[in-house]
Amino acid sequence: MRLSVVVPCFNEENGLADLHARLSAVLPMVTLDFEIVMVDDGSSDQTLARMRELASEDPHVRYVALSRNFGKESAMLAGLSHADGDVVAIMDADLQHPPELLSQMIELLGTGHDQVVARRDRKGEKRLRALSSKAYYKVMNRLVDVRLRDGEGDYRVMTRRAVNALLALGEYNRFSKGLFSWIGFDTAVVDYENVQRGTGQTKWTFRKLLNYGIDGVVSFNNRPLRLAVYLGLIVTLLAFFYAGYVVVDVLSSGVDAPGYATLMVGVAVLGGLQLLFLGIIGEYVGRIYYESKRRPHFLVKETSSPPTAPVRVSFGQDHEANK
Ligand code: UDP
Ligand code: MG
């Protein structure tokens, strides 16, 4: 069995050596045939230089450097499409995903699962953040078709079959939590205790989280649009009844001017709803716009070495190849 460990890295210069040391201690116990595929997601610090050093010292290390920062989703995709293992693991570079868990996860994978995902608890996290995450997953699971579970992140191991399925999904907007779930296959879960970041900083701000949340809702189905249809129907029905009532009222007791409050409420509520759903439609149109451009998900600037096996599906483009 050949094992690939894919690590997306963005400004992780201080963490890489530690990560490499921890992985080098753990992986040989699982298999001797392993590779560590580090992806430099356009870091502005010395991350790439560290990767070059590690790759020259350790033949197990390979790296792929992207031409700019494409975001973690694209960095993971770049890593997956360059990994050639029969079993592929994805983990963060900041050691929040304990490498020691890998052997247990891979063992579980061997018992007939296609994905094994590590699920963290929310220990040491701010109350508000933990609560809002919980609420988010509650709402999400009602809104989208795939199942999302709290604490299940990107730390997982997959069989080649699952990786190829993932690579076959060519969409530009990649909400990976949803994609992992969408491909299906038997998935097992390993629990672990939340770990704080080793060095460096998290790239998540509140705003990014909010945007990510909205992405999650609209990238998986058209239920928000359905909601607009239903709400529109209800409002139209109510409006008909109200119109009938107004006509009858005017015919029976004549015109009386007051009604300012009703009018204002009607205008405001309808105006708000229209804007909201215009926004939702806009989200979908925007997605169609991005998908229709068919741009590559990432561009590769530099790699350590060609992969030993041909890359099965390639999403990115090498700059060299474009010349
Ligand atoms: N990451 C990346 N590209 C980005 C942002 C993050 O490759 O644009 C990597 C980052 O280096 C780390 C992983 O994704 O290995 C998770 O990022 P982070 O620790 O900031 O997220 P958190 O753990 O706080 O959710
Ligand atoms: Mg982290």
Place of tokens 């490499």: 20
What pLDDT shows up at residue 217? Answer: 78
- pLDDT above 50: residue 311: no
Is ligand 1 within 6 A of the CB of residue 203?
A: yes
In the reported structure, the alpha carbon of residue 92 is separated from the centroid of ligand 2 by a whole-number distance in angstroms of 6
Closest-CA residue, ligand 1 atom 12, reads 92
Is ligand 1 within 6 A of the CB of residue 12?
A: yes
309 found inside a domain? no
Q: Which tokens in the block code for residue 206?
A: 């509140």
> Best-predicted range by mean pLDDT among 162-166, 228-232, 246-250, 266-270?
162-166
209 found inside a domain? no
| pTM flag (> 0.85) | no
Closest CA to 243 of 260, 262, 269: 262
Check whether residue 56 and residue 175 sit in a common domain: yes
Is ligand 1 within 6 A of the CB of residue 68?
A: no
Check whether residue 238 and residue 168 sit in a common domain: no
129 found inside a domain? yes
Q: How large is the average pLDDT for residues 152-167? A: 91
Q: How large is the average pLDDT for residues 165-174? A: 85
Is ligand 1 within 6 A of the CB of residue 215?
A: no
Distance CA 52, CA 122 (A): 35
Check whether residue 133 and residue 262 sit in a common domain: no
313 found inside a domain? no
Is ligand 1 within 6 A of the CB of residue 75?
A: yes
213 found inside a domain? no
- pLDDT above 90: residue 3: yes
Kindly compute the dihedral angle of the four CA atoms of residues 70, 74, 78, 79, in this order, to the nearest 10 degrees: 110
Check whether residue 62 and residue 131 sit in a common domain: yes
Distance CA 23, CA 182 (A): 29
254 found inside a domain? yes
Q: How many residues are recorded in the chain?
A: 323
Which residues form the domain of 132?
A: 3-203+297-303
- 305 Cβ contact partners less than 8 Å away, ≥ 6 residues apart: 55, 62
Closest-CA residue, ligand 1 atom 13, reads 92
Check whether residue 288 and residue 176 sit in a common domain: no
Q: What is the CATH number of the domain that holds 59?
A: 3.90.550.10
Task: Say how many domains are in the chain.
Answer: 2
Check whether residue 182 and residue 143 sit in a common domain: yes
- pLDDT above 60: residue 136: yes
Check whether residue 94 and residue 192 sit in a common domain: yes
Check whether residue 191 and residue 232 sit in a common domain: no
Q: Which ligand is nearest to the CA of 65?
A: 1
46 found inside a domain? yes
In the reported structure, the alpha carbon of residue 94 is separated from the centroid of ligand 1 by a whole-number distance in angstroms of 8
Q: How large is the average pLDDT for residues 95-108? A: 89
Check whether residue 26 and residue 143 sit in a common domain: yes
Residues 183 and 165: beta-carbon distance below 8 Å: yes
* Interstrand relation of 152-159 and 87-90 (parallel, antiparallel or unpaired): antiparallel
What pLDDT shows up at residue 307? Answer: 53
- pLDDT above 70: residue 306: no
What pLDDT shows up at residue 8? Answer: 95
Check whether residue 37 and residue 173 sit in a common domain: yes
Residues 76 and 51: beta-carbon distance below 8 Å: no
Helix-strand-coil split of the chain, %, nearest 5: 50, 15, 35
323 found inside a domain? no
In the reported structure, the alpha carbon of residue 19 is separated from the centroid of ligand 1 by a whole-number distance in angstroms of 14
- pLDDT above 70: residue 111: yes
